[in-house]
Amino acid sequence: GENVEQHPSTLSVQEGDSAVIKCTYSDSASNYFPWYKQELGKRPQLIIDIRSNVGEKKDQRIAVTLNKTAKHFSLHITETQPEDSAVYFCAAHRLHNTDKLIFGTGTRLQVFP
């Protein structure tokens, strides 16, 4: 089955700086790579996702890049703001399969004003 590793576990940045979170996956058949954001005391929510047929996707200040050969993908947040402070989770799975849906261990991002 799929195994997802996520780094770093914690990340502190100054407001305005960029933040990068990295994930690696094991199953080369995985073709869908979502990122979820969980604010304190809230439920996780999808913020961006990428499929294996593209290498990069952007949505305003967030972007995700995918390297299928190396089996890793990354979340990039530019011009960070205090409201970006949260725990971020990555996942990897086969979009049209009903597999176990395993998450990375999470990254706690703190953005200091």
Partner 1 sequence: NAGVTQTPKFQVLKTGQSMTLQCAQDMNHNSMYWYRQDPGMGLRLIYYSASEGTTDKGEVPNGYNVSRLNKREFSLRLESAAPSQTSVYFCASRLSGGNTGELFFGEGSRLTVL
Residues that bind partner 1 (CB under 8 A): 6, 32, 34, 36, 43-46, 49, 89, 91, 93, 95-98, 100-106, 108
Q: Is 38 or 78 the residue whose CB approaches partner 1 more closely?
A: 38
CA 2, CA 27: separation in Å to the nearest integer?
A: 5
Q: HSE, CB side, 13 Å, CA atoms: give it for residue 88.
A: 30
Distance in angstroms (rounded) separating the CA atoms of residues 23 and 79: 21
Phi-psi region of 79 (alpha: psi -120 to 50; beta: other; left: phi over 0): left
Q: Which is nearer to partner 1, 106 or 111 (CB)?
A: 106
Q: Which is nearer to partner 1, 40 or 70 (CB)?
A: 40
